[in-house]
């Protein structure tokens, strides 16, 4: 049981999770500024500004590098993992979101006269723009460095 308790002593993990949660919280603030309304769903959805995935993986990579060494294989794995996650967020998931938007538009246009056709809409906000990914990465690194200053 002590091993599970050790998870709460893993500073690298905790800082990465804090970066993720801060990014999700900032999405709510951006939503309020942008649309002048509070939509709590942004706290648990993908996409939006800044990228919580990018904040999480960059804070994680920075923590691994600082803790185990910038030349360690562990840091290399964390960086490669971060690159894959950020590429996926800005590339593959962004493209999937664009396809969902087009498919939703096609369904709307093809079946607007058939109200009995009630198909669930596809989720359109799946990925991030490159700016959102960069902002998330900058946030993750900033939160990691701020946590270092606190210790």
- The full set of domain ranges for the chain reads 2-150
Q: Which residue has the higher pLDDT, 121 or 47?
A: 47
CA 48/CA 90 separation, integer angstroms: 11
Q: Which residue has the higher pLDDT, 75 or 126?
A: 75
CA 70/CA 67 separation, integer angstroms: 8
Q: What is the pLDDT of residue 119?
A: 65
Q: Which residue has the higher pLDDT, 14 or 99?
A: 14
* Tokens 């993990």 found at: 13
Q: Which two tokens stand for residue 133?
A: 């990914």
Local confidence band at 78 (pLDDT 50, 70, 90 cut-offs) = very high
pLDDT at 2 over 80: no
Local confidence band at 143 (pLDDT 50, 70, 90 cut-offs) = very high
Q: Which two tokens stand for residue 108?
A: 């709307």
Q: Name the nearest CA neighbour of 65 among 149, 14, 141.
A: 141
* Cα angle 55, 24, 83; round to 5: 25
Local confidence band at 1 (pLDDT 50, 70, 90 cut-offs) = low
Local confidence band at 47 (pLDDT 50, 70, 90 cut-offs) = confident
pTM metric for this prediction: 0.76
23 and 47 Cβ atoms separated by less than 8 Å: no
CA 97/CA 81 separation, integer angstroms: 22
Q: Which two tokens stand for residue 138?
A: 């900058």
Handedness of CA 83, 89, 92, 94 (dihedral sign): negative
């Amino acid at each position: 049981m002590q091993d599970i308790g050790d998870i709460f002593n893993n500073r690298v993990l905790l800082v990465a999770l804090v970066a993720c949660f801060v990014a999700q919280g900032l999405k709510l603030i951006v939503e309020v500024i942008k649309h002048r309304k509070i939509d709590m769903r942004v706290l648990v959805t993908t996409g939006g500004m800044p990228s919580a995935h990018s904040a999480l993986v960059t804070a994680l990579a920075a923590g691994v590098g600082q803790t185990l060494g910038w030349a360690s294989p562990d840091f290399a794995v964390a960086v490669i993992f971060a690159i894959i996650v950020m590429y996926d967020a800005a590339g593959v998931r962004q493209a999937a979101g664009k396809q969902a938007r087009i498919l939703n538009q096609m369904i709307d246009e093809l079946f607007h006269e058939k109200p009995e056709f009630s198909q669930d809409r596809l989720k359109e906000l799946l990925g991030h723009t490159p700016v959102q990914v960069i902002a998330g990465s900058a946030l993750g690194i900033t939160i990691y460095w701020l946590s270092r200053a606190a210790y």
